[in-house]
């Protein structure tokens, strides 16, 4: 991907549990990509998608806490708010004006096919309930709000997990419909970026590490909590001295996803030869995780304790975001309404 002078944008929903799977699979790569984009003269736009969370998160205290945790997590992991544009979605009213305009160019059928809505309908039907039971328009319109996030800034690339690619494709289709309607490029057509070879980090039970499965190693917690989570990684009862194929061993898969190559090699060799016990490997893994994360955790705690400073950063970020958004929206409005 050529990021020279490009606008690269991504959003994250506030969530209460951030785990090392999110760290290796999303946070670290996002920050690395952000640095590359900036070094190449582009803009890296990263925001907390709090309005996207309202359709399922209606507890204001939780909303506030999750938003704070997420902001502090990204900052502690190295996001530089002076270089990147880092803000809270709800602080940029242009996005919501854009959403209203975009609804008029979005075939309703697109929304019927969007995966989150379809999954909710399928669940209802399986339970013998009416198709739309408990489904609000926030969930139904979710892809239009996401399209507004992307199109309001003239984004070129949108790094996302595979589950979000459909939403970026819908966004490109909506932008295409706008451009076709007025016979010129009003909105830039964005492209999704996925990490093709991104390995999913397994959780302590062997399934994908996920907050929904309760099998996570938390990103930011006391060393003892992290150690306990590592100790709970499932192992088998093979003899300690038996030579093993590392690929078959969950503990190795997790270590490979997190640790530096030298340590991965040491564990791999220990397993192949036999003689390296699971307890020893767990200790090595817990030490490696805490060694890498302890300094970041300290920063995280500090940001959380001085949240007013973070709030200020987000507000400054929203100003920069609005400056990028305004001309795109003004051009769209002027086209639709024939304003001079
Ligand atoms: P969860 O499965 O815990 O609900 P999310 O769906 O909120 O996680 O994921 C947020 C981001 O973290 C996504 O970009 C996703 O690709 C990444 N991610 C989540 N779980 C993992 C994992 N086990 N390994 C690697 N990346 C992950
Ligand atoms: N829907 C995304 C998710 O669930 C979050 C998101 C909202 C987003 N707006 C976006 C991602 C715009 C990329 C671009 O993960």
Tens digit of pLDDT for each residue in 182-212? 999 999 999 999 987 777 899 999 999 999 9
Q: On the CB side of 163, how many CA atoms lie within 13 Å of its CA?
A: 6
pLDDT attached to residue 147: 98
On the 0-12 / 13-18 / 19+ scale of CB atoms within 10 A, 205 is: middle
Domains 7-200+307-337 and 211-300 are alike in CATH topology: no
Cα–Cα dist 330/325, whole Å: 9
- Closest ligand to C-alpha of residue 195 is 1
Cα–Cα dist 268/225, whole Å: 26
By most ligand atoms within 8 Å of CB, the mutation choice from 26, 194, 204, 256 for ligand 1 is 26
Nearest atom within ligand 2 for CA of residue 12? 5
Cα–Cα dist 278/254, whole Å: 13
Question: Which tokens go with 218?
Answer: 């938390």
Enclosing H/E stretch for 295: helix 278-305
Q: Report yes or no: 108 and 68 within 8 Å, Cβ to Cβ.
A: no
> Hey, where are the domains in the chain?
7-200+307-337, 211-300
On the 0-12 / 13-18 / 19+ scale of CB atoms within 10 A, 136 is: middle
Phi, psi of 130 (to 5 degrees): -60, 145
For the segment 132-144, the average pLDDT, to the nearest whole number, is 97
- Show Cβ contacts of residue 315 under 8 Å, excluding neighbours closer than 6 positions: 87, 91
Q: Roughly how many angstroms between the first and final C-alpha of the chain, as a whole number? A: 37
CATH of 211-300, one of 3.40.50.300, 1.10.240.10, 3.40.50.11060, 2.60.40.10: 1.10.240.10
pLDDT attached to residue 199: 78
Instruction: Give per-residue pLDDT as tens, 216-248.
Output: 999 999 999 999 999 999 999 999 999 999 999
Angle, vertex CA 289, rays to CA 284 and CA 295, nearest 5: 130
Which residue's alpha carbon is nearest to atom 3 within ligand 1?
A: 210
By most ligand atoms within 8 Å of CB, the mutation choice from 45, 149, 212, 321 for ligand 2 is 149
Cα–Cα dist 104/233, whole Å: 50
pLDDT attached to residue 85: 98
Which residue's alpha carbon is nearest to atom 7 within ligand 2?
A: 11
Instruction: Give per-residue pLDDT as tens, 290-326.
Output: 999 999 999 999 999 999 999 999 999 999 999 999 9
- Closest ligand to C-alpha of residue 258 is 1
15 lines ligand 1 (CB under 6 A): yes
88 lines ligand 2 (CB under 6 A): no
Phi, psi of 97 (to 5 degrees): -65, -40
- Specify the CATH number of the domain 7-200+307-337: 3.40.50.620
Q: What is the mean pLDDT of the chain?
A: 96
For the segment 52-70, the average pLDDT, to the nearest whole number, is 96
Which residue's alpha carbon is nearest to atom 17 within ligand 1?
A: 22
Q: If you ran DSSP here, which 8-state letter would residue 162 be given? A: G
By most ligand atoms within 8 Å of CB, the mutation choice from 18, 25, 160 for ligand 1 is 25
Question: Which tokens go with 118?
Answer: 């379809």
- Show Cβ contacts of residue 40 under 8 Å, excluding neighbours closer than 6 positions: 3, 4, 5, 6
pLDDT attached to residue 79: 97
90 lines ligand 2 (CB under 6 A): no
253 lines ligand 2 (CB under 6 A): no
Instruction: Calculate the CA 31 to chain-centre distance.
Output: 11
164 lines ligand 2 (CB under 6 A): yes
Nearest atom within ligand 1 for CA of residue 216? 3
Nearest atom within ligand 2 for CA of residue 146? 9
Q: On the CB side of 81, how many CA atoms lie within 13 Å of its CA?
A: 23
194 lines ligand 1 (CB under 6 A): no
By most ligand atoms within 8 Å of CB, the mutation choice from 11, 16, 22 for ligand 1 is 22
pLDDT attached to residue 17: 86
């Amino acid at each position: 991907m050529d990021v020279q002078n490009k606008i690269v944008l991504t959003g994250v929903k506030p969530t209460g549990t951030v785990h090392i799977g999110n760290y290796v699979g999303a946070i670290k790569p996002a920050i690395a990509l952000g640095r590359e984009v900036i070094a190449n003269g582009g803009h890296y736009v990263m925001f907390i998608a709090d309005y996207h969370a309202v359709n399922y998160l209606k507890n204001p205290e939780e909303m506030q806490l999750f938003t704070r945790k997420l902001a502090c997590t990204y900052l502690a992991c190295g996001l530089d708010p002076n270089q990147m544009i880092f803000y809270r979605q709800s602080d940029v009213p242009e996005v919501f004006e854009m959403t209203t305009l975009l609804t008029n160019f979005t075939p309703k059928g697109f929304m019927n096919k969007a995966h989150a809505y379809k999954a909710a309908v399928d669940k209802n039907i399986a339970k013998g309930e009416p198709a739309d039971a408990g489904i609000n328009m926030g969930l139904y319109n979710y892809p239009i709000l996401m399209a507004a996030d992307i199109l309001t800034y003239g984004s070129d690339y949108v790094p996302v997990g595979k589950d979000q690619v459909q939403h970026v494709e819908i966004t490109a289709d909506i932008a295409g419909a706008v451009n076709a309607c007025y016979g010129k490029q009003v909105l830039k057509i964005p492209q999704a970026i996925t990490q093709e070879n991104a390995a999913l980090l397994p959780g302590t039970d062997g399934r994908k590490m996920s907050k929904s499965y309760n099998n996570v190693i938390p990103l930011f917690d006391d060393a003892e909590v992290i150690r306990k989570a590592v100790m709970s990684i499932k192992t088998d009862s093979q003899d300690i001295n038996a030579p093993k194929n590392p690929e078959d061993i969950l503990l190795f898969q997790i270590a490979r996803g997190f640790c530096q190559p030298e340590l991965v090699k040491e564990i791999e060799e220990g397993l192949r030869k036999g003689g390296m016990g699971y307890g020893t490997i767990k200790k090595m893994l817990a030490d490696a995780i805490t060694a890498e994360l302890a300094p970041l955790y300290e920063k995280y705690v500090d940001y959380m304790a001085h949240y007013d400073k973070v709030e200020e950063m987000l507000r400054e970020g929203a100003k920069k975001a609005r400056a990028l958004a305004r001309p795109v929206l003004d051009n769209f409005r002027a086209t639709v309404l024939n304003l001079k």
